[in-house]
Amino acid sequence: MGEKARSFLIEKFTEGASGGPKADANEVAKEMKVLRGKDGALIFQPEEWRTAKQITSFFSRLAALQRRSEAGDDGHEELDEEDLLAIENEDVVQSLHEAVIADMEGPFHPIMLSNINVCAS
């Protein structure tokens, strides 16, 4: 995730965390795709866009880090670059995990014996 996208997502999270309306991941994902700068050019390129699921995961990790920081568990008052990189890496691993699980949902070629699907439970 580029610095521009990361900063945008952190800004959206911070707006909600500071008492404003909480950002909806679906709306943030749509906004990333259509947001334009003063010159009319898209701010985010397609490779910088994030899905609603990725944004939800990112916000969840930011919230967890914020709670830990407020509790004084880690001694940091702000999110540092190392924390954000760990969040991003975890998001990639989670997305890959979900894709593999979705791919393994069931047998595509059931074993049939006398018109009975042996694979069905």
Residue numbers of the domain that contains 50: 3-117
Q: What is the pTM of this model?
A: 0.56
Length of the chain: 121
Total structural domains within the chain: 1
What token pair was written down for 23?
A: 């950002």
How would you write the pLDDT of the chain (121 residues) with one tens digit per residue? 678 888 899 889 888 777 778 888 899 999 999 999 889 888 988 888 888 888 888 888 888 777 777 766 554 445 566 766 676 677 778 778 878 877 777 656 677 788 888 777 5
Give every CB contact of residue 95 below 8 A, 6+ residues apart in sequence: 53, 54, 57
